Amino acid sequence: MAPIDPHSFTDSTHPLTTHISLNFYFDFTTSTIASSALLTLSAPYTGDLVLDTRSLTINSVIDPVTNSQIPFSLSTDVDPIKGQPLTVSVSNISKILITFVTSVTSSALQWLTPPQTFNKKFPFVYTQCQSIHARSIFPCQDTPTPRVRYNAKLNIPHQLSAVMSAKHLERRDPILGCGDSGLCCGESLWCGEGRIVEEFVMEQPIPTYLFAFAVGELGFREVGPRTKVYAEAVPSVLDAAAKEFAGTEDMIRVGERLFGEYDWERFDLLVLPPSFPYGGMENPRMVFLTPTVIKGDASGAQVVAHELAHSWTGNLITNKTNDHFWLNEGFTTYAERRIVEAVQGEDIAALNIGIGWKGLVDEMERFKDNLELTKLRTNQEGVDPDDVYSQVPYEKGFQFLWRIERQIGRAAFDEFLLKYIAAFKFQSIDTNMFLDFLKANVPGIENDIDLKTWTEGTGIPADAMEPVSNIYTKIVSLAHEFKQGRMPREEEVASWHGQQWELYLENLPNSVESSQVIALDCRYRLSESKDYEVKVAFLQLAIVSRCSEYYNVVEKTLKEVGRMKYLRPLYTALVQGNTKKEEDKIFAQRVFAEARETYHPIAQGVVESILSKHL
């Protein structure tokens, strides 16, 4: 008996789930889903089987073959990270039917009321399962080792439609009786009037964190032979999204050339409401995106390149547990930059590497008292993955792979990548499996690169590297000159877009005079930027430099977006530091209290943890 993942109750002696059949009845009046899940195990099992759950009410556990009740117990002991283990006591069976209801606090789900949507007419609900939130939607072995196929029937109000990280089969009227419930007959709510059923199937096996749906008043635009962009059915939003992502097919082709065939058939995009907590989430066949990536200059392509790259690194080859998260994000960051380089050129790729480098250097400061979190391979026993989310797996992982590329040359590294993906596709692997494969395919690599220091050591290895490019170097040196009162001249910034400004702002010295910050904004209007990367980088500087005149913009920003990449630095800047003024902390608390309901539950938890650390 041993757990296979620090974030799951799944035990090494248990058979793994291979298929899940789901029925969901969405009740927007209570913000809950009455559901059933039919789990198929890899082999018949006798004994206690433990499933992960969080915030679920379990109604029954049934053997679907004999239709008899299976004894079960839902632990009353709630683990703050892992949730509540559900133990079912089975006897020689391989299928288990569970009926249950989600709760308003289910951490994967955000329920939006009509006023919280663009059109203000209908409610909206969507999921975010990575890393360990799928268990708050259905009981499962919520760890990336078991790969499951699934089908799902979503019973929703007829004015709405649904999308999933799966193939859409049909939209139809509910079948009267118990046909769509998986529950017993007579549940009139399953057959009610004004309802519609959307059916999906996922034929490729995926880890549970890639399970996803969204339900709302959705529309779409076609942008390529295998890509539609979905969003709330507002023509201006759909048009802007279609324009921003027009180059998607070109990127898929680059991905195929570099990493092998695209295995997921479709690559659709869903633009979510502003509360979406991430920039993007690589849900297979249907990537989820924040609306803040739509900037009108196609720069959102970088986030799409990243989520697209996950189609190979992450979704085909998956980290076995979060301890090996760098295998997902480090590889994907590397792959993203290769795609960006191919479609936008070397200078833009170098800029991204430079922004990433600064991010990595800053994380070393953030984790100086917890060096464990600066390692590529981590030990997350007792650690909530949402609390320790950082740039380290992305940027140190990127640096490691870039280092190998420099060692063996691009042609050899490209060949290695193709081989690696082909060898491990549809498998979940750990750092050692990667290292063994590397050593077997690149003989002698361990003599040239200190693989142990890279994967197990803390900090940034000495053979990591800042990018070399003229614009990158120019922007960084301009930023360093700011301290001497030198502001960039108009002609120097004439060609700058969001990423150049972001790099510039992030490289400014830590403490600058508030008068300088104000002068910079007077000239370049950064606090009014439509690009949130720029706006937030500027506001962070404004807070640290004590420019109180920007607090109304800070408040407005914290209330209009829920992307954690923006919430984290702004709330942190407000509350962190020994000399921090009391007013700032009170301000942060008030804004959070007022904005809280508009954030996704995951973002609520993360902001809470930032505030509780410093107040």
Provide the residue type at 62 as one letter.
I
Query: Could you give the CA distance from residue 335 to residue 308 in angstroms, rounded to a whole number?
Result: 9
- In terms of CB distance, is 86 or 567 closer to ligand BES? 567
Catalytic residue among 199, 244, 282, 307: 307
Smallest distance from ligand BES to CB 54, Å: 15
186 φψ region: left (φ > 0), alpha (ψ -120 to 50), beta (else): left
Smallest distance from ligand BES to CB 380, Å: 12
In 102-194, beta strands by DSSP E: 109-112, 124-127, 148-157, 161-164, 167-172
Pick from ligand BES, Zn ion, none: which does 417 bind, CB < 5 to 8 A by kind? none
String of DSSP letters for 499-517 = HHHHHHHHTS-SS--HHHH
Smallest distance from ligand BES to CB 281, Å: 5
* Sign of the C-alpha dihedral computed for residues 553, 554, 556 and 560 taken in this order: positive
- In terms of CB distance, is 228 or 310 closer to Zn ion? 310
- In terms of CB distance, is 303 or 327 closer to ligand BES? 303
Pick from ligand BES, Zn ion, none: which does 39 bind, CB < 5 to 8 A by kind? none
Instruction: Build a one-symbol-per-residue string for 330-359: x at contacts with Zn ion by CB under 5 A, - elsewhere.
Output: --x---------------------------
- Kindly give the residue spans of alpha helices, DSSP state H, lying in 50-120: none
501, HSE (Cβ side, Cα atoms, 13 Å): 25
Pick from Zn ion, ligand BES, none: which does 557 bind, CB < 5 to 8 A by kind? none
Q: Which residues bind ligand BES (CB under 6 A)?
A: 130-131, 278-282, 302-303, 306-307, 310, 329, 389, 565
Smallest distance from ligand BES to CB 483, Å: 30
Smallest distance from ligand BES to CB 139, Å: 21
DSSP 8-state code for residue 548:
G
Smallest distance from Zn ion to CB 603, Å: 17
Residue 394 bears catalytic tag: yes
Query: Could you give the CA distance from residue 490 to residue 26 in angstroms, rounded to a whole number?
Result: 54
- In terms of CB distance, is 147 or 310 closer to Zn ion? 310
Shortest-Cβ-distance residue relative to ligand BES: 279
Between the alpha carbon of residue 506 and those of residues 129, 206, 540, the distances in Å are 30, 37, 9
For tokens 């020689």, name the residue: 92
Q: Of 103-111, 134-142, 209-217, 322-330, which part binds Zn ion (CB under 5 A)?
A: 322-330
User: With 0-12 CB in 10 A as exposed, 13-18 as middle and 19+ as buried, what is 116?
Assistant: middle
Pick from ligand BES, Zn ion, none: which does 565 bind, CB < 5 to 8 A by kind? ligand BES
Query: Interaction with Zn ion in 245-304: which residues (CB under 5 A)?
Result: none
Pick from Zn ion, ligand BES, none: which does 131 bind, CB < 5 to 8 A by kind? ligand BES
- In terms of CB distance, is 160 or 166 closer to ligand BES? 166
**Contact, 557 vs 535, CB < 8 A?**
yes
Sheet containing strand 227-232, edge to edge, reads 218-224, 227-232, 268-271, 286-289, 280-281
557 φψ region: left (φ > 0), alpha (ψ -120 to 50), beta (else): alpha
Smallest distance from ligand BES to CB 132, Å: 9
Is the peptide bond prior to 236 cis by the omega test (within 30 degrees of 0)?
A: no
Pick from Zn ion, ligand BES, none: which does 303 bind, CB < 5 to 8 A by kind? ligand BES
Pick from Zn ion, ligand BES, none: which does 323 bind, CB < 5 to 8 A by kind? none
- In terms of CB distance, is 99 or 500 closer to ligand BES? 500
Paired strand residues for 34: 25, 101
- In terms of CB distance, is 323 or 329 closer to Zn ion? 329
Residues involved in catalysis: 307, 394
Binding site for Zn ion (CB under 5 A): 329, 332
